[in-house]
Structure 1
């Protein structure tokens, strides 16, 4: 459909026109698309919904369940329902549909009623408005994501090149270009596919802060198993770092001849004589050629520059060596034999030079690739001057910018599918899974050890799995909220099949082969979005329904933190329904066989009795219709007012007077 500028402008209010004009004058660039005005307003018109606990799908102890959530339902409606978590999320990491003509669905009725539960049809590649539909679906979700973040929060969104540029413009508009933290290029495949076009081996992660000045990056933990002092270095522990970067620069892609073997080492591989040169895709970094000559001389061997005719810049070779690209035999080169003897003697003395040669796969000393010794104290200070992340680097650079993450660090798509196969079995037909390495690295950097992670496009549950692994391996206590609708149109609400199964098996260590794996521990609560909520709905709920809503929605303005409320189930309790991490009890006054009751002297006595039995001290949080008795031990919460307020609704809200309770 052709975009009608005049028609769209006529719909704008004065305030909207002023905002548009200011945006154009300040940034000079704005994202314009058909239906922009309605897309910008959709998030404000979505109604919160009731969430129903599914006890048979809860995993872990009650306390563990209260820490994490898997929500089955439409993600925009779910995020609106999670009003108490607004401003409480440390990191949003998610993988939305890539609009490739396979998975993305769009319902045209969302323009008029974003509460319509129908997913709509798959948007095909032939659909001329496919980009507009994708933008209209993503824009309100990005707005809610921003609202969910803490002031210091960060959002990281995985994407491919189909919508990379559109997503970037939306992120610039919603979060601000000045809050862009990184454009990460990660290696999703490690071998190119054949064909007549450039093989796509990388995807992207766009990282934005809610406020870049307040956001903080966490140092990745140093893997102490990688720290070394095998040479007795006077400076203490060090780690081996790769002195290469994935970018070809002819002058610094030269060969370095090994003093141990006489072989030529290029930045991205060893040259096998009479073989094929390694591909020109990397270069040496972190030292000058003069510094390399100095480091090599410390092995007792003199080096000179020589043009080998490889087009890579003058090589550094052993003086008097007759090394050549073809017909060369290091074992017959007397200069190499002398160099090997001197280098071996120097190696045995310990306290090696800064540039050393690691052992090869056969454990032959010094027969492997060149590496740099980096003092552990320098790593801890974040002083590695490189933007290339390799498997030997246990930290990350202070300046991230646009960087590449190789598959050794971030995993790849094939690895991700194998991870999913291993934990739930084959045949799941879910191909868009992300590797745990990638997600764990993002979480470690931008979510503090006790932080909260949200994934509104949970898919197979990789984000939750990554959080559980980090908590188990590093002793952190991060929490997660996952939202997934699945594919109900195909009869597969895989939120309760694939996603649930993966998280359950991660927690318990169960595997489809029957051979148990490491149980990561933890747990999660499973919730299902149902009907929309208004005052009438709340007052006509059954007791169990109302308990679910209370425990899901409760938060307090003076604390402004979303407590993890543990449900208390027991036939001996008439009013006690939950408790928080501070040991404070939550009570729902319910008349036996009737509606919500009132707090009076008799019901208060029962509250005190149940609190004593459960070992709970005041204050007692009491939900009831009316407060006919007051006590300093009670924090009274009026139904439905408190619930509606906790969901972001008020008595004057248009939704509370609605008769629509689909």
Structure 2
């Protein structure tokens, strides 16, 4: 038995491995952990990794109006931010403790995607992604965990007490991420590990076991308050159901007898008892039910069936006894017609007049809904050998399809065209199901590794399908090392095309090729670090952006979405909130920030009158010389810095929660 480190490449599960590298504080923590008989994740540089998030400083966040999509009100609901994700989450201080669901797909440590910046150990404010970490790098696991730990700490801080995080991973870092999640979120807050089928067939990527699945680790911030959602069916959901044959099992609708995946054993003919025609699975599919079940259901038409080869190059067919393909005796036809007229029809039926293809019944009462999902999300429909298959609708999520990686790539290609460079994209169905299960209808979804924008599209589509109003924040840096800041190209293009319905035509031009999806978003980017001197040196346009992007009110923190107002007829009015309240910045003839006095207050009143805005008036200024009951004063730079967590009395960088 080997008592040494489990993973000698960097992550040590043996508490004594690398003990000579630990300082006094790490040694004390290690001894305490050993004395409490706990299991701890120990690696070189762990203490600095835990403290990195407290050293990151917020940055100026600039709006890019030319890249906004949708109406001003729709833009204010959602955000696409170009920037390093740890720095961006720190800058998004107003959303701390306001996020309902984090669903994200970080770079896998396969030697192809993950980059690590060694400067982060000393200066986590460096925005560079660093160099690609090769699979042969002996410290690649340690580097990956050191990059993930501070980001997970910030993600936890962003969540509401009832919030949930769903993070995708493959088997390269599954075990390390699991231990890391246990440490940051607590083992008691682990909701589950979802195993989803990423490919229809196993890939030959391992000499022993080929992989066809990946994983999603689901953790809550607090399992006592977290909730897995279900949905009661409405009358609108049930409109397709009826009972034309007076079936005692209740109302039903037509279901598909053909599965979406192919199986040679289930590819054969079924003869109709009405016409004698032999029917085959639609497209390139196969029948979804076992042959022994089908022959029983077909026999309920009062016609005897047998399993017999008809030399059609396929498996033995289900044929009416003694009948040839295309032929049916009048005796058998009359028996089937009698059952059709008297009802109820068998589970497998041939249309209301008996002349159609075989199909099945989907009973409303047998649809499973409001159930906790299973840990395995298959990409093919589930069926039972003993009971009729139940096809689930889009609003019943227990066993909806997860989709495959190839589906994700195809979905992206269909929206933005070829040449996007992504060969692994999470499928929409996977993310939509996660959003439906763990984000309330009015909730906020965050994706710190937005990639091509799957999360944003999933939120928009789930909203439209379920009449919900979820919001999203997507963060993506792109690949600056290769000169590709695709947050403003690929990610933006996908969301733009989804919202507008535009698609890339054969001539390379955008045309209206799909139904638009309701929604919009603002595009923002991180720039320089921010402090009091920076704020006071800003020009008006930059300061307006900082106010619009950082402002929040106690009591309605994350929901304080300000809409910027750019109109030369206003002297001080720069924005309004969802309640229609105005926001003003006092300037001295376009020069430095001014003070709120009687003269400037009168100008505020004139702006408010022009815009038909009623009190309270939110006024930003350097000093407050004049006071009014109609004004809520916000001091520059103090309040701006406070809204970014930089106020002297409550410095977020001294908050222990962020460091876990």
TM-score w.r.t. the length of structure 1 is 0.80
Which of 552, 559, 563 aligns to 2:560? It is: 563
Deviation at 1:225, TM superposition (A): 6.9
1:534 aligns with 2:523: no
- Aligned-residue offset at 1:351: 3.5
Could you tell me how far apart the structure 2 residues matched to 1:384 and 1:118 are? Answer: 40
Give yes or no for contact 1:379–1:395 (8 Å, CA) kept in 2: no
Question: Are the equivalent residues in 2 in contact too, given 1:644–1:651 (CA < 8 A)?
Answer: no
SS in 2 for 1:59: coil
Q: In 1, are the aligned partners of 2:228 and 2:372 still within 8 Å (CA)?
A: no
> Shift in Å at residue 448 of structure 1?
1.7
SS in 2 for 1:581: coil
Alignment equivalent of 1:60, drawn from 58, 70, 87: 70
Q: Partner residue of 1:238?
A: 252
3-state DSSP of counterpart to 1:577: strand
Paired residue total: 597
Residue 92 in structure 1 maps to residue 102 in structure 2: yes
CA distance in 1 between partners of 2:434 and 2:145 (Å): 25
Aligned to 2:570: 573
| Structure-1 separation of matches of 2:374 and 2:415 | 38
Matches within 5 A, 1:458-537: 458-513=450-505, 514-516=510-512, 517-537=514-534
Kept after mapping to 1: 8 A contact 2:369/2:396:
no
Asked if the contact 1:260–1:344 (Cα under 8 Å) also holds between the matched residues in 2, the reply is no
Task: Give a deviation string over 1:117-175, Cα, whole Å, max 9, x none.
Answer: 22110001100111111111111111111111111111111111111111111112212
Using the TM superposition, give the Cα deviation of residue 432 of structure 1 relative to its aligned residue in structure 2, in angstroms. Answer: 2.4
Is the CA contact (8 Å cut-off) linking 1:259 and 1:339 kept in structure 2? no
Q: How does 1:110-509 map to 2 (within 5 A)?
A: 110-193=120-203, 197-219=208-230, 224=238, 227-234=241-248, 236-238=250-252, 299=300, 331=319, 333=321, 345-352=338-345, 356-357=347-348, 367=358, 373-375=363-365, 379-380=368-369, 382=371, 391=381, 392-394=391-393, 409-509=401-501
Partners of 2:32 and 2:646 lie apart in 1 by 27
Contact 1:220 1:444 in 2 (8 A): no
Report the Cα distance in structure 2 between the residues aligned to 1:339 and 1:383, rounded to whole angstroms. 46
CA pair 300-367 structure 1, distance change in 2 beyond 3 A? closer
Separation in structure 2 between the aligned mates of residue 481 and residue 455 of structure 1, nearest angstrom: 6
Report deviation, 1:471.
Answer: 2.8
Whole-Å separation in 2 of the counterparts to 1:137 and 1:33: 13
C-alpha offsets along residues 607-650 of structure 1, whole Å, 9 cap, x if unaligned?
A: 11111111111111111111111111111111111111111112
Deviates more, 1:508-517 or 1:189-198: 189-198
CA spacing shift, 1:384–1:520, aligned 2, 3 Å = closer
Contact 1:159 1:203 in 2 (8 A): yes
Q: Distance in 2 between matches of 1:594 and 1:632?
A: 27
2-structure distance, mates of 1:182, 1:396: 22
Of 223-232 and 169-178, deviating more is 223-232
CA pair 345-187 structure 1, distance change in 2 beyond 3 A: farther
Q: Deviations over 1:529-566 (max 9, x none)?
A: 01111122111111111111111111122334431110
1:579-618 → structure 2 map (5 Å cutoff): 579-618=576-615
Report SS of the residue matched to 1:204.
strand
C-alpha distance in structure 2 between counterparts of 1:655 and 1:218, whole Å: 32
- 8 Å contact kept, 1:534–1:655: no
Structural RMSD (CA) = 4.0
Q: CA deviation at 1:60?
A: 1.6
TM superposition shift of 1:115:
0.6
**What is the deviation of 1:50?**
0.6
Comparing 192-201 with 38-47, which one deviates more in the overlay? 192-201
